[in-house]
Structure 1
Amino acid sequence: MEPVIIVGAGPAGLALSLALARHEVPTVVLDQSTGPDEERWARTVVLREDTAALAARLAGTGFTRGGTRLTGVRSLRRRQEVAAHTFDEALPAPLHLPQHALTRALREALDREPLARLVPGTRLEEIEQDGNGVTARTSTSGGSASTGAPGPSGGAGTATWHGSHLVGCDGPRSTVRKLLDIRFPGRTAVERHAVAAVRCTLPFAGEEILHRNPPWRGSGTEVTARPLPGDRWRIDWLLPPGGELVTPEALVARVRATLAGWTDGTTPPYELLDTGVHTVHHRLARRWRAGRVLLAGDAAHLLGALGTPAVDEGLRDAGNLAWKLALVRHGHAGQPLLDSYQEERRAVVASRLRAADQSLPILRGASPLRPLLPGSARGHEALYSDGHIGRGPLGAPPAHLHSPLTPAPAHPGAGAEVGVGDLVTDVPVTAEDGSTVRLRDRLGRTALLVLLVAPGTGVWDRRHWMTAGVMPRLAEAVAALPQPAELLVTETYPGAAAHTVLLVRPDGHLALALSGVDESRLRAAARTVCGADTGAREEAARPAR
């Protein structure tokens, strides 16, 4: 079986390779670098509940030891606390960790995966494609290839790779995007931050700190601090526009003034671990697909102002694309299914970019709308913190209610109470083999998930309830679906009544909620989810008989 060629071995490329392996699709990852990421404590990522769970499924849960689960977010303005948000079941805690810890865990998982091959020191030069596949020509800058998927052809210093598809995960300066001649419009240097990682004891107990207009001199107008393991902190200072040069002396002065301001007025003992300048760009590729070649991660989008997730969105690209490519590769769907990847993911990122662009002028004081915000401090705090907290248009998990893969409801509002289009709630479920697992543990495979809400099944042996009530009929309906599907049972699901049947996509988005078993609508919905034809939407919309 020909592999999917992935160009780039950052978080998005590594995650996509591992996700495709879970779908039994081989990959070859072409990496221009010759080794793992340099250890940089000032270069970190924040993973939300869904992307942290995705990374854990792909790399194993051990990678979380390299990060810190935030306990909350505290917003300060001058010396006053404006708001404090505690993470709990209603507001799940994000994971903050160095990017090198994430990529290291993904690389180690890739080394153990027989269906994946990582080829370092490989630079892409040319792409050709036709109706049967993609050919990539590369040059070699050194390094050795690991064993795994089929190797290339070519002479010394060059190679030719053949695959069914190619995905460019090769970053902001993407060679894949340039070879496809896809425009990458947007704004440069939307925000610039001076960044330092320090080892120090601060009085915030695992909280993220958003501090606007701190009262001491030398810290600028905004400071953000996030905890890391071992009493480490990443601290960001918003720089004024104009490209101010950040000298080592000026950065140390910021560190000392900020640490003193957050303690008792005297700079506490600290160790400076790493420094840098982080520039946020906002860009969005015009197209994310050109035939059998697609874009993902920073090659497709750049964002990050006001706490909007960046690496998060690259991982979501990988989760969205992997199952669609797998269905196509295994013959369960046609190439048009891949169009929905661009339609769904590009819409989510575009929405975040619009929200940030609308909020920035208000927060930075350059908009005539600023005086119109009610209770200005509270209104500004919400705009400022939503992306960091993970709510609202800046930070809430993506939803695909209006996707072409979401079956039309039988009547307006149907499914709203259980969140059709949203990511599923991670409830305990019983699998067909009788084991009890979490719902998220069953994601990331080629099969659709069909979940029956059946109160009381937890207290009965599976052999009794599998032959009772609606179960035989539902099991028969699931077995007859044209796409692979797995039947699961749960005692309860938020907003769902007894005997509700839920259809869940492999990436965890809820596609359909049925009241009882309706074989024809379930079959039509499964076809719609897999992009079979537009007529399935109409069939799924007909009321149950």
Structure 2
Amino acid sequence: MDPVIVVGAGPVGLVLSLALAAQGVPCILLDEDAGKDETRPARTVVLREDTAALVERLGCTTLRDEGVRWAGWRSMRRKQLVSELPLGEDAPYGDRLPAPVHVPQHALMRGLRDAIARQELVQMAPFSRIDTLEQDPAGVTVHTREPDSTWWRGSYLVGCDGARSTVRKLLDIRFSGRTAVERHAVAALRTELPWPGQAVLHRLPPWRSGGAEVTARPLPDGAWRLDWLLPPRGELVTPDAVITRVRDTLAGWCGGETPPYELLDTGVYTLHHRLARRWRVRRAFLAGDAAHLLGALGTQGLDEGLRDAENLAWKLAQAWHHGASDVLLDSYQAERRAAVASRLRAADQSLPILRGGGGLRTLVPGGARGHDSLLADGHLGCGPLGAPPSYTHSPLAPPRAEAHTTVGTPPGAPVADVRVTAPDGTTVRLRERLGQGHLLVLLVAPGTGVWDRRHWLMAGVMPRLVEAVDALPVRGELLVTEAYPGASAHTVLLVRPDGHLVASFGGVRPAELFAAADAARGGEPHASVRADQTADIN
């Protein structure tokens, strides 16, 4: 089989290449530039718990070394504190909200490129701008120019080449949506604020240049990123205007006097909402900004791009190694496009309420607090604006069976990151076993943590379950956990390689487990695909 061609070496293209390589799939990564990124302290990204875990699992150490996990979330309106939430380990048990990670984008890119450099299955090709894309039943051929005219052959191709995607244009896919949904002025600076480690959202700040909304998010080494929401049209933002906003905002937060600060970077950015009509055309796919643009109300487009990469990687790995049905490959668009479309709808429906201002809404008791909670959802990765997606209506979902049982995770939703034990005796978090190209079968067995592995492997339901896992139509890894939310003893969970629950069963049900695993792989691979792979092997 030819390697997978990934077009675009931004964060999504780098993560997709690493995720494919982690599952034994070789890649060619076509980078339009030289492979170096401009250092811009004001250009940062916020990763939620699931996407941060994905980046770390793929060997990028940047989040640990150069990222900041928010200690808390502070929401203010005019001169009043609306809410203050501790995050991560600082939050009370039971009410714990995961802490987002804030990192400079150039640092994230450097960490991902370092991980790529250690990966033998990824071939980087700098200065490779594509201008031709051709498909046939066995693969994809693309032509690049500069510095040399080169033809590349791949089994599949994924366009991760940004909002102005050449791949999308060559595939003649419409990219409809809204332009200039929000505009922000941004500054990165080093100073001391009264809330170290906390992210701050201040609506209608009382000083003259505060505008409708300003946010502050901590960065490493005492730095902060400040964002001011700008009017949709007009207001040319000059460097002097940004300096005025910085001084007024710092003074407003620090008792009326501007504290010492070091200005590191400034900028203005505009957010658009767009969604590609199609995400798959035969053997070519779109991911990241090439497929969607979003980001208003605190939502993070990169989060969704990384979720695209994780979703697509295991499906392409299945296709590359074993063949795949059209059901499996089409499920990428069905799942991810629906999830992003839902996020865009939620943002578009909320914008008139949150940005309209005035009117009767300001007189409704509790209305302002509800609006602030909705905005917090987008920033913290909760609710319809930010929560990780659930693929409830996925074409890969098995039909409901009598053997299915209910646990704390609905089918299609991301599983809880419980501590698990593998048959070799190693104990890790469940999330660490994801992304290896096989299904996970998780048995809930209280008490196994205190038993010797030699005993519990041969006790109770384990022998039958080992036999059932060995008989699955695709490879599965058997794991054991002491407890899972909402699950009773001897519950068996089937988990996809990207961490979404396929089904849960009350006890060991080999036939039903087989049927669910077969549904999760999209059924039998297409006959022509199997023939192509057999020819390649021979």
d(CA) in 2 for partners of 1:241 and 1:104?
34
* 2:373 is aligned with 1:382: yes
d(CA) in 2 for partners of 1:409 and 1:266?
63
Checking the alignment, whether the CA contact within 8 Å between 1:409 and 1:415 is kept in structure 2 is: no
Which residue type is aligned with residue 382 of structure 2? Answer: R
Instruction: Mark the runs of 5 or more structure 1 residues left unpaired by the alignment.
Output: 142-156, 535-545
The normalised TM-score by structure 1 is: 0.93
Aligned to 2:479: 488
Secondary structure of the 2:322 match is coil
Aligned to 2:76: 76
Aligned to 2:418: 427
Aligned to 1:306: 297
Alpha-carbon offset, residue 76 of structure 1: 0.4
Secondary structure of the 1:59 match is coil
Checking the alignment, whether the CA contact within 8 Å between 1:332 and 1:483 is kept in structure 2 is: no
- Within the candidate set 187, 191, 194, 2:182 is matched to 191
Alpha-carbon offset, residue 334 of structure 1: 2.4
Alpha-carbon offset, residue 288 of structure 1: 0.2
* 2:223 is aligned with 1:241: no
d(CA) in 1 for partners of 2:108 and 2:170?
29
The change in CA–CA distance for 1:417 and 1:307 in structure 2 (over 3 A counts) is same
Aligned to 1:329: 320
Which residue type is aligned with residue 350 of structure 2? Answer: S
The normalised TM-score by structure 2 is: 0.94
- Within the candidate set 128, 135, 144, 1:138 is matched to 144
Alpha-carbon offset, residue 503 of structure 1: 0.4
Checking the alignment, whether the CA contact within 8 Å between 1:420 and 1:510 is kept in structure 2 is: yes
* 2:18 is aligned with 1:18: yes
Alpha-carbon offset, residue 371 of structure 1: 6.2
d(CA) in 2 for partners of 1:447 and 1:517?
19
Checking the alignment, whether the CA contact within 8 Å between 2:403 and 2:509 is kept in structure 1 is: no
Secondary structure of the 2:50 match is helix
Secondary structure of the 2:107 match is helix
Which residue type is aligned with residue 351 of structure 2? Answer: L
Alpha-carbon offset, residue 412 of structure 1: 12
d(CA) in 1 for partners of 2:7 and 2:358?
41
The change in CA–CA distance for 1:412 and 1:308 in structure 2 (over 3 A counts) is farther
Alpha-carbon offset, residue 61 of structure 1: 3.8
Alpha-carbon offset, residue 64 of structure 1: 2.4
Secondary structure of the 2:356 match is coil
Aligned to 1:127: 133
Alpha-carbon offset, residue 411 of structure 1: 5.6
Aligned to 2:124: 118
d(CA) in 2 for partners of 1:413 and 1:455?
20
Runs ≥4 residues deviating over 4 A: 366-369, 371-374, 411-414
Aligned to 2:533: none
Alpha-carbon offset, residue 435 of structure 1: 1.0
Alpha-carbon offset, residue 336 of structure 1: 3.2
Alpha-carbon offset, residue 511 of structure 1: 1.0
Aligned to 2:451: 460
Q: How many residues align?
A: 519
Q: Which moved more, 1:188-197 or 1:381-390?
A: 381-390
d(CA) in 2 for partners of 1:456 and 1:36?
51
Which residue type is aligned with residue 373 of structure 2? Answer: A
Checking the alignment, whether the CA contact within 8 Å between 1:418 and 1:496 is kept in structure 2 is: no
Alpha-carbon offset, residue 368 of structure 1: 7.4
* 2:115 is aligned with 1:109: yes
Secondary structure of the 1:382 match is helix
Checking the alignment, whether the CA contact within 8 Å between 1:361 and 1:367 is kept in structure 2 is: no
Q: Deviations over 1:235-287 (max 9, x none)?
A: 00001121321101111010011011110211111000011111110000000
d(CA) in 2 for partners of 1:41 and 1:415?
46
- Within the candidate set 94, 98, 102, 2:104 is matched to 98
Aligned to 2:531: none
Which residue type is aligned with residue 270 of structure 2? Answer: T
Which residue type is aligned with residue 11 of structure 1? Answer: P
The change in CA–CA distance for 1:83 and 1:411 in structure 2 (over 3 A counts) is farther
Checking the alignment, whether the CA contact within 8 Å between 2:404 and 2:505 is kept in structure 1 is: no
d(CA) in 2 for partners of 1:47 and 1:243?
31
- Taking every aligned residue pair, what percent have the same amino acid on both sides? 65
Checking the alignment, whether the CA contact within 8 Å between 2:181 and 2:273 is kept in structure 1 is: yes
Alpha-carbon offset, residue 533 of structure 1: 6.2
- Within the candidate set 263, 275, 283, 2:266 is matched to 275
Aligned to 1:219: 210
* 2:501 is aligned with 1:524: no
